[in-house]
Amino acid sequence: MGLDSLVGGTIWDEYSDKVTELMNNPKNMGEITTEQAQEMGGKLIVADFGAESCGDAVRLYWVVNPNTDVIMDSKFKSFGCGTAIASSDVMAELCKYKTVQEAVKITNIDVEKAMRDTPDVPSVPPQKMHCSVMAYDVIKKAAGQYLNVDMESFEEEIIVCECARVTLNTLKEVIRLNDLTTVEQITDYTKAGGFCKSCIRPGGHEEKDIYLVDLLEEYEKEKMAAGSTLGGAESSIEFAKMTVVQKLKATEKVIDDNIRQMLIMDGGDMEILDIKENGENHDIYIRYLGACNGCSSADTGTLFAIENILKEKLDQNIRVLPI
Amino acid sequence: MKVYLDNNATTLVDPHVFEEMEPFFVKKYGNPNSLHAFAGETHPHIKTAMERIYAGINADRKDSVVITSCATESNNWVLKSIYFEYILTGRKNHIIISEVEHPSIIATAKFIESMGCKVTYLPINSEGLIEAQAVRDSITSKTALVSVMWANNETGAIFPVQEIGEICAEHKVLFHTDAVQAIGKLPVSVQDFNVDYLTFSAHKFHGPKGVGALYMKKGKELMPLFHGGSQMGGHRSGTLNVPGIIGMGKAMEQAIDALDFEMSEIREMRDNFEDELLKISDTFVVTPRKYRTPNTILISFRGIEGESMLWDLNQAGIGASTGSACASEDLEANSVMEAIGADEDLAHTAIRFSLSRYTTQEEIDYTLATVKKAVARLREISSSFAYAPEGHESGLTLAH
């Protein structure tokens, strides 16, 4: 708030010179055909992300050396605004000569930083950050196609704010530790919600699984519950009908009440990374910590015990997958 | 070359208008409501300006045309006063607006909706038009107000305000129309059809910014939104914007004089420009010309996101507009395009060109040549027409 927000501005004035230059003359814009890829001795990967009906769409072409996994050439085509085109161009450039495994480590923040004129001045205004996120998503899509895995598997944790890459765990922790009650506070502490604003509440540019307002509400309820009924009744909602946040809470609670203690006694611990719907199944991805990590029963006895308790307490279709 | 084709957003101040306003800054700065000679210098000019404004919309002397700060204020005034007088008191519980009203109506309606008022949002059809029958179908015994714009700012689509006015009269429901895009483009006469409130704004017809007006029919005066020193007959307090009112008066007079020119010459220039644009492959215009204001074109170029088109036009010195994603502070798709709902792939491709009586043929020719170049360049970049190997499943575009 204050003077800057009162006057507003024209977003183009906040573009770096590099963004302007790349919009006017994108270097890696173009196509690669199956024949051209064969001539280069590589495999053609064509990945799409976004949709015209949403306002942003990008197609990424890679030629990958099947022996070394090195991306020999990388080009793009994009339906989008200036920053979408410039971000796609930088993204295609950053992919070149990396292995596919290295390329998936490029994030939207790398793309945005590569477009800066000076290191500490952002290259695009906040509401344009989501354009660089698309550039990042299409890399994961292409890598997923090449490696024949789901693109989601490259993301180890649940990202709530994609523009600033803030994870669910970070947000929960920051909200709880600092007793945050407003979205503005969350943005001040973590930068989440400060860019395209889609993650703040439903109705933004993009649809999300988890919104910042949900997390605040969740925390508010948690405080209320702690204040009134200690160890109150179990949630009456069926697990399958819960939101992702509710599922996480419910799973977290069962683990806290029934499992964590056992693990800690053995010098270990675990954390929930993600919950995904897979047909009828609820796949719960976990990571072992401390002594559990590498323990021989982590993939057998302990795992079965965790899964059975969750099945019994929450839903028969739960599967637990350690990563 | 610099070309301004965004006249639905705002217009240049006509030099004659500026000339009339100029003495009222440094030389004749008296408050017209004071009792001394400084006031006496300004008062007659305000009166002349008000007479010109009344004449411009053919208002009866007994009606009230109250000067406000902008159309947004006028629109807020109507909805909020209706809320205070009818909804809050429990006499009525419902208003009807169209889903493509200006944000100053939509956002205000949403606000009073949050305070307990029921709101019907009338849909537009596939040509971007409102059907008067929909108003009839939505009216209940508890409806306080219908507010439908005269012409839409994005498409230029003209809505059937005469018919809607009749329906409102029949059902004894108050009728407001936002005529911001109609003044100076279409004949507006408040005595020739049933209308209770009508909004307009000077800067859309070559007057200054910061001056709007609300017409209120005799006997239908709303409670004031601004309380204070009882200026404007107590309808709207606040020291009069003397140069602004004088500017609006002159601008109104000129707009009426230029109306025939607008409806013949500008229309012809617009039509020819549109014919040429439509020769570019995969371009679409939604609303038929006969239902549009004479100066407006909303056109979609398939495969080109609106802001990137604005970018290329701007690089060549041309100012146009888009309500589509990325172009403005918020990232919403063009609301009119979404409302039409014909082809989702086009929701983010609409560009609006709006002409004025200052637009020249030379400017149009230059713009046309620039648009052709931009379409070629941006379609080359676009994923919409890009190569994909045999069997590649694309989610980028919907089947078409």
pLDDT level of residue B106 (50, 70, 90 thresholds): very high
Which of left, alpha, beta for B234 (phi over 0: left; psi -120 to 50: alpha)?
left
pLDDT tens digits, one per residue of B131-161: 999 999 999 999 999 999 999 999 999 999 9
Please give the pLDDT value at position B323: 57
Question: What are the beta bridge partners of residue A143?
Answer: none
Tell me which amino acid residue A196 is: C
Contact predicate A191/A161, CB 8 Å: yes
The residue with greater pLDDT, A53 or B222, is: B222
pLDDT value at B101 more than 60: yes
Q: Do B311 and A82 touch (CB under 8 A)?
A: yes
Which of left, alpha, beta for B197 (phi over 0: left; psi -120 to 50: alpha)?
beta
Task: Give the catalytic positions of A in this structure.
Answer: 54, 131
Contact predicate B8/B352, CB 8 Å: yes
pLDDT value at B398 more than 70: no
What homologous superfamily is domain B260-379 in, according to CATH? Answer: Aspartate Aminotransferase, domain 1 (3.90.1150.10)
Closest approach of A273 to chain B, Cα-based (Å)? 28
pTM assigned to the model: 0.81
Locate the chain B residue with the closest alpha carbon to A57: B396
CA distance B105 to B282: 34
B118-122/B94-98 β-pairing? parallel
Chain A positions touching B351 (Cβ under 8 A) are none
Chain A positions touching B308 (Cβ under 8 A) are 23, 80-82, 84-85
State the average pLDDT for chain B.
Answer: 94
Q: Would you kindly state where each structural domain of chain B is located, as residue ranges?
A: 15-257, 260-379
Fold identical between B15-257 and B260-379? no
Question: What are the beta bridge partners of residue B158?
Answer: B151
Chain B positions touching A130 (Cβ under 8 A) are 331
The tens place of each residue's pLDDT in chain A, 323 residues long, gives 688 778 877 788 889 999 999 999 999 999 999 999 999 999 999 999 988 887 889 999 999 999 999 999 999 999 999 999 999 999 999 999 999 999 999 988 899 999 999 999 989 988 788 788 888 889 999 999 999 998 888 877 888 988 888 889 889 988 988 889 999 889 888 888 888 888 999 887 778 889 999 999 999 998 888 776 544 444 457 888 888 888 888 888 888 888 887 777 777 888 888 888 888 888 898 888 877 776 767 777 788 888 888 888 888 889 888 88
Q: Do B307 and A33 touch (CB under 8 A)?
A: no
Closest approach of B305 to chain A, Cα-based (Å)? 5
Closest approach of B309 to chain A, Cα-based (Å)? 8
pLDDT value at B214 more than 80: yes
Catalogue all structural domains in chain A, each as residue range(s) with its CATH number: 11-154 (3.90.1010.10), 159-227 (no CATH), 239-322 (3.30.300.130)
Closest approach of A125 to chain B, Cα-based (Å)? 10
- Residue of A35, A81, A89, A128 for testing the chain B interface, max B β-carbons within 10 Å: A81
pLDDT tens digits, one per residue of B286-345: 899 999 999 999 999 999 999 999 999 999 999 999 854 333 444 455 667 766 665 778
- Quick one: average pLDDT of B53-81? 98
Locate the chain B residue with the closest alpha carbon to A56: B305
- Residue of B324, B380, B381, B385 for testing the chain A interface, max A β-carbons within 10 Å: B381
Chain A positions touching B392 (Cβ under 8 A) are 46
Contact predicate B214/B82, CB 8 Å: no
CA distance B119 to B132: 17
pLDDT tens digits, one per residue of A219-278: 999 888 877 654 444 445 788 888 888 888 888 888 888 888 777 777 788 888 888 888
Tell me the residues of A at the B interface, defined by beta carbons under 8 Å apart.
8, 11-12, 23-24, 26, 29, 31-34, 44, 46, 48, 50-59, 76-85, 127-128, 130, 196, 204-205
Chain B positions touching A22 (Cβ under 8 A) are none
In CATH, the architecture of B15-257 is 3-Layer(aba) Sandwich (3.40)
ipTM score of complex: 0.86
Closest approach of B65 to chain A, Cα-based (Å)? 30
Please give the pLDDT value at position B342: 57
Candidates A54, A76, A79; nearest CB to B384: A79
